[in-house]
Amino acid sequence: MEILHTAAALQAYTENCRRAGLRLALVPTMGALHEGHLQLVRAAAQACDVVIVSIFVNPTQFNNPDDFRLYPRLPEADANMLAPAGCTVLFLPSVEEMYPKPSVMKFDFGALERVMEGTHRPGHFNGVATVVGKLFHLSRPHQAYFGQKDWQQVAIVQQMVADLAFDLELVSFPTVREADGLAMSSRNRRLPAEARTVAPRLYAALQLAAEQLRQGASAAAAQQAASAYIASEPAFTLEYFEIADAQTLQPVSGWHPGQPVVVCLAAHLGGVRLIDNIVLQP
Ligand code: PAF
């Protein structure tokens, strides 16, 4: 596995690969890797000849300086996990390398970002789109891999790929969970032990809402039941609990078979902000 630190080195590498007729995959990450990331890398290695994994804790997508400062950074442990999973190139740029000058361009994803993470983390998707767009340009992948735990992020990146005609296929994979249901996340490492024991309640709340919707409850009723369940554990502060059309991300009144619906939440627990979602397919 090669480790590259500069944009120029990555561009040169991927240009050579393209010239040699190789298929390239990109797995963008912020590191502190877990099984969810590794599944993406393994899938990419099955589908493509070259797998580029980027690890970059992107400052422009953090609206909370403490969250940026405390985000786990484990580049050595990450590198050790990547080669066995099939990573060919690890791209580890510095902030100065990715942002030689502060970027001023602004993205507006319309209704897609006026909900959930977009509302609660102002500027977040602008930062995500900026860095993902740069990574797409530097690596020119045939495929790019994302996890569905960030459901809204996948929708936003899909929109950017369509709007800016990036010539690549976006591949997304379902959330990987711990045995007790907690969605795997780099931020889980920061959960204090006591908080970790109650954290799976978030997934249980999503399942509760999903079950109610399947049984014909309105979105408002399902949302209320799930929010009350979360509130019964005082360690949680619920930021949002939304039931939305899985594609447009706009709120729905209930689940109608034939319309995929996503149930999403964000909550604070033990000083850590967690998100999760569940999708009801037709
Ligand atoms: O999902 C993430 O880890 C980040 O938002 C991403 C896509 C790597 C962009 O910084």
Atom of ligand 1 lying closest to residue 61 CA:
10
Strand-by-strand arrangement of the 236-245 sheet? 236-245, 261-269, 272-280
Cβ-proximal residues to 199 (8 Å cutoff; 6+ apart), any chain? 182, 188, 191, 269, 274
Band of residue 60 on the pLDDT scale cut at 50, 70, 90: very high
**Average pLDDT taken over every residue of the chain:** 97
Which one from 37, 142, 256, 268 is the annotated catalytic residue? 37
> pLDDT per residue over 98-112, tens digit each?
999 999 999 999 999
142 tagged catalytic: no
CA 32 to chain centre: 13
Q: With contact defined as beta carbons under 8 Å apart, do 185 and 149 qualify?
A: yes
Backbone angles phi, psi at 96, to 5 degrees: -65, -35
Fold match between 2-173 and 186-276?
A: no
Could you say which of 3.40.50.720, 3.40.605.10, 3.40.1030.10, 3.30.1300.10 is the CATH number of the domain covering 186-276? 3.30.1300.10
Supply the residue whose CA is at minimum distance from atom 9 of ligand 1. Answer: 128
Residue positions counted in the chain: 282
For tokens 């569940």, the residue is 278
- Check pLDDT > 90 for residue 88: yes
**pLDDT for 145:** 99
**pLDDT for 282:** 80
Binding residue ranges for beta-alanine? 61
Band of residue 258 on the pLDDT scale cut at 50, 70, 90: confident
Does the C-beta of 212 come closer than 6 Å to ligand 1?
Answer: no
| Cα R_g (the chain), whole angstroms | 19
Every domain of the chain and the residues it spans: 2-173, 186-276
Architecture of domain 2-173 in this structure: 3-Layer(aba) Sandwich (3.40)
State the average pLDDT over residues 185-200: 98
- What is the residue type of 272? V
d(CA 39, CA 6): 26
Does the C-beta of 152 come closer than 6 Å to ligand 1?
Answer: no
Report percent pLDDT > 70 for the chain: 100
d(CA 84, CA 91): 16
Backbone angles phi, psi at 48, to 5 degrees: -130, 160
State the average pLDDT over residues 172-186: 98
- What is the residue type of 103? S
Supply the residue whose CA is at minimum distance from atom 2 of ligand 1. Answer: 29
- Check pLDDT > 90 for residue 23: yes
State the average pLDDT over residues 249-276: 96
Atom of ligand 1 lying closest to residue 30 CA:
3
User: For residue 65, what is the DSSP state?
Assistant: H
Secondary structure class of 7 (helix, strand, coil): helix
